[in-house]
Amino acid sequence: MTAGKDFRQLNGLTLAYIGDAVYEVFVRDYLIRSGQTRPNVLHKKATSYVSAKAQHYLMQELLANDWLTEEEAAMYRRGRNAKSHTIAKNADVATYRSSTGFEALVGYLHLTDQEERLSELMQWCITQIGEKQHDERIT
């Protein structure tokens, strides 16, 4: 953590701002390492991982399975409850707010240098979305 800066005090939208970028890098890294190299395919696949609906699904799973510490859950709520002036393009308000909370959680873990925990959660999230996509193709 940068000396003198307590990132736990940042508002939820600021945490979500960096969290969005951090999660996107994890997803892009995963896709390229798994052999995806065509830009059109990369974009389409990445979107399925980073959409508001996917992030909302991940938060529902994390909360239902008690995966978060109290502090992590508080950072999620801070992002979810933040008053945003943007309007969701492809999601209802509750889904959009939940995804903002997810991004705030990711941003919080990143800025507080909890890289091991962040990597653990990101790996779990990417696996969850991959399994969900696989299950939906089967049914």
Nearby residues of 68 by Cβ (< 8 Å), 6 or more positions away: 62, 76, 105
Q: Which two tokens stand for residue 12?
A: 């939820």
pTM assigned to the model:
0.90
Catalytic residue among 6, 20, 66, 113: 20
6 as an active site residue: the answer is: no
Q: Identify the burial level of 27 via C-beta atoms within 10 angstroms of its C-beta, where 0-12 means exposed, 13-18 middle and 19 or more buried.
A: buried
* Confidence at residue 137, expressed as pLDDT on a 0 to 100 scale: 56
Q: Give residue-wise pLDDT tens across range 59-102.
A: 999 999 999 999 999 999 999 999 887 777 788 999 999 999 99
Rounded to an integer, the average pLDDT of 49-54 is 95
Chain centroid to CA 42: 18
**72 is written with which tokens?**
């992590």
Spell out the domains of the chain, with CATH numbers in brackets: 7-138 (1.10.1520.10)
Indicate the pLDDT class of residue 7, thresholds 50, 70 and 90.
confident
Task: Tell which wins on pLDDT, 70 or 6.
Answer: 70
Query: pLDDT tens digits, residue range 97-131?
Result: 999 999 999 999 999 999 999 999 999 999 999 88
Contacts of the segment 115-122: beta carbons below 8 A, 24+ positions apart: 118/22, 121/62, 121/67, 122/23, 122/26
Q: Report the C-alpha dihedral over residues 86, 14, 45, 91, rounded to 10 degrees.
A: -30
Q: Which helix (H) or strand (E) holds 46?
A: helix 39-50
